[in-house]
Structure 1
Amino acid sequence: MKNTIAKLVLLTFICSATTHKAFAQLTITGQLRTRTELKDGQGTLFSNGAKPASFTSQRTRLNLGYKMDRLEFGLSLQDVRVWGQDVSTINRTTAENNNGLKLQEAWADILLSDPAFKNKSLRLKIGRQILSYDDQRLLGALDWLQQGRSHDVALLKYQSNSWMFHLGASENQNKENVSGTLYNSTPPGNYTANTNGGAMYKSLQFLYIGKKMVKGNASFLFLADQFNKYTTDNVGTKTFVDGTWGRMTTGFYFNNSFDKLNVTASAYYQFGDNQTGQKLSAGLLSLYTNYDFSKAFSLGPGIDYTTGGNSGNTTHAFDPLYGTPHKFWGSMDYFYVASPFGKNGLMDYYLKAAYKTSSKLLLNGAIHQFNSAQKISSSDVAGSKTNFGAELDLSGLYQLNKAISFEAGYSHFFATALLASSTVKNIAHPNLNANWAYLMINITPDLLLHKN
Structure 2
Amino acid sequence: MSTLTNLLLKNQSQKKEGFFNSKLSKTIVLGVAITCLGKFEAKAQFTLTGQIRERVEMRAGQGTLQQDGDKAALFTSQRTRLSAGYTGYRFKIYTSLQDVRVWGQDASTINRTTTEANNGILLHEAWAEISLIDTLSTIQNLSIKAGRQEIAYDDQKVLGSLDWLQQGRRHDAIVFKYANKGWIADVGAAFNQNKELNTGTIYNGTNSAYGAGTNGIGTMYKSFQYAYIGKKFFFGDLSFLFFKDDFNKYTNVTSGTPAVTTKVNGEGVWSRNTTGIYYNVNATRKLNFMGSFYHQGGHDKDGRSLSANMASITSTYQVGRKLFIGPGVDYLSGDDGTKAVTATSDNNRFDPLYGTPHKFWGSMDYFYAANGFGKQGLLNYFFKIKYNAKDNLSFNLDIHGFESANKISNGAGGKLNSYLGTEVDLTVRYNLTKIINFEAGYSIMKATNAMASTAVKNIANADLTPQFAYVMLNIKPNFLAKK
1:7-18 correspondence runs (5 A): none
Task: Measure, in 2, the Cα distance between the counterparts of 1:65 and 1:209.
Answer: 27
Percent identity between matched residues is 50
The residue that corresponds to 2:52 in the other structure is 32
- Residue aligning to 2:311: 285
Output the TM-score relative to the length of structure 2.
0.86
What does residue 252 of structure 1 align with? 277
Q: Match for residue 447 of structure 1?
A: 479
Q: Write the letter of the residue equivalent to 1:121.
A: N
Match of 2:95 in 1: 75
AA at the equivalent of 1:345? G
Give the alignment partner of residue 308 of structure 1, picking from 331, 334, 341: 334
Listed one character per residue, the Cα deviations across residues 300-336 of structure 1 (whole Å, up to 9, x for unaligned) are 0000000111597111000010000000000000000
Deviations 1:105-153 (A, max 9, x none): 0001110023212344310000000001000000000000000000000
Letter in 2 for 1:26: F
Bigger Cα displacement from structure 2, 188-197 vs 93-102:
188-197
Tell me which residue corresponds to 1:161.
181
Give yes or no for the alignment of 1:205 onto 2:237.
no
- C-alpha displacement of 1:448: 0.8
CA distance in 2, matches of 1:422, 1:81: 33
- Pairwise CA distance, 1:191: 5.7
Q: Please say if 1:113 is aligned against 2:139.
A: no
Q: SS of the counterpart of 2:404?
A: strand
1:401 equivalenced with 2:430 (yes/no): no
**Of 209, 220, 225, which aligns to 2:245?**
225
Question: Residue 24 of structure 1: CA displacement?
Answer: 6.3
Match of 2:395 in 1: 363
Distance of 2:195 and 2:148 partners within structure 1:
16
The one-letter code of the counterpart of 2:474 is N
* Aligned residue number for residue 5 of structure 1: none
The correspondence for 1:414, drawn from 430, 446, 452, is 446
Given the alignment of the two structures, is residue 181 of structure 1 paired with residue 201 of structure 2, yes or no?
Answer: yes
The answer to whether the Cα contact below 8 Å between 2:125 and 2:148 also exists between their aligned partners in 1 is yes
The amino acid across from 2:441 in the alignment is G
Name which of 317, 320, 327 aligns with 2:359.
327
Partner of 2:29: none
Residue by residue over 1:167-195, the C-alpha shift from the partner in whole angstroms, topping out at 9 and shown as x without a partner, is 00000000001111000011534864212
The Cα offsets for residues 408-439 of structure 1, whole Å up to 9 and x where unpaired, read as: 00000100000000111100111100000000
Contact 2:44 2:89 in 1 (8 A): no
Instruction: Indicate how the Cα distance of structure 1 residues 42 and 93 shifts in structure 2: closer, same or farther if over 3 A, else same.
Output: closer
Q: Is it true that 1:57 corresponds to 2:72 in the alignment?
A: no
Aligned partners of 1:23 and 1:448 also within 8 Å: no
227 and 118 in structure 1: CA distance in 2 versus 1, 3 angstrom threshold: same
Give the residue type in structure 2 aligned to 1:397.
Answer: R
Q: What's the counterpart of residue 430 of structure 1?
A: 462
Residues 362 and 396, structure 1, Cα contact 8 Å, conserved in 2: yes
CA distance in 2, matches of 1:38, 1:71: 45
Is the 8 Å Cα contact of residues 125 and 154 (structure 1) preserved in structure 2?
yes
Deviation at 1:26, TM superposition (A): 0.6
In the alignment, structure 1 segments of 5+ residues that lack a partner are 1-19
CA shift, 1:350, in A, is 0.3
Aligned to 2:191: 171
The one-letter amino acid paired with 1:132 is: A
Does residue 318 of structure 2 align to residue 298 of structure 1? no
Counterparts of 1:383 and 1:247, CA distance in 2: 30
Q: May I ask how many residue pairs the two structures share in their alignment?
A: 432
Residues 119 and 210 of structure 2 are in contact (CA less than 8 Å); yes or no, is this contact kept in structure 1?
no
| Aligned CA distance change for structure 1 residues 415 and 300 (closer, same or farther; 3 Å) | same
Q: Distance in 2 between matches of 1:102 and 1:383?
A: 46
Cα separation, 1, equivalents of 2:449 and 2:325: 31
The amino acid that maps onto 2:307 is S
* Contact map agreement 2:56 2:472 (CA 8 A) in 1: yes
Write the distance in 1 (CA, Å) between the matches of 2:197 and 2:451. Answer: 45
Instruction: Report the residue type matching 2:312 in the other structure.
Output: S
Please say if 1:138 is aligned against 2:158: yes
Q: Which has the higher strand share?
A: 1
Q: Deviations for 1:195-233, whole angstroms, at most 9, x for unmatched residues?
A: 233310000000000001235311000000000001123
| Partner-residue secondary structure (3-state), 1:418 | helix
Contact 2:374 2:456 in 1 (8 A): no
**Aligned partners of 1:99, 1:348: CA distance in 2, in Å?**
32
Q: Which residue of 2 aligns with 1:66?
A: 86
Alpha-carbon distance in 1 for matches of 2:120, 2:346: 39
Counterpart of 1:143 in 2: which secondary structure? coil
Aligned with residue 125 of structure 1, among 115, 136, 145? 145
Map of 1:195 onto structure 2: 215
- Root-mean-square deviation (CA), in Å? 1.9
Tell me the amino acid that sits aligned with residue 417 of structure 1. Answer: N
Kindly indicate whether the alpha-carbon contact (under 8 Å) linking 1:163 and 1:209 is maintained by their aligned counterparts in 2: yes
3-state SS of 1:327 partner? helix
User: 1 or 2, which has the higher helix percentage?
Assistant: 2
**Do the aligned partners of 1:60 and 1:79 also contact (CA within 8 Å) in 2?**
yes
8 Å Cα contact 2:190/2:223 also seen in 1: yes
- Given that 2:294 and 2:311 are in contact with CA atoms closer than 8 Å, whether structure 1 keeps it comes out as yes
Cα distance, 1:380 vs structure 2: 7.9
Q: Secondary structure at the match of 2:117?
A: helix
**Higher CA-based Rg:** 2
The structure 1 residue matched to 2:380, chosen from 327, 348, 352, is: 348
Q: Given residue 420 of structure 1, which amino acid in structure 2 is its aligned partner?
A: A
Quote the offset at 1:90 in angstroms. Answer: 4.7
Aligned to 2:299: 273
1:239 alignment partner, one of 264, 284, 288: 264
Q: Distance in 2 between matches of 1:447 and 1:89?
A: 30
CA contact 1:42–1:434 (8 Å) conserved in 2 = yes
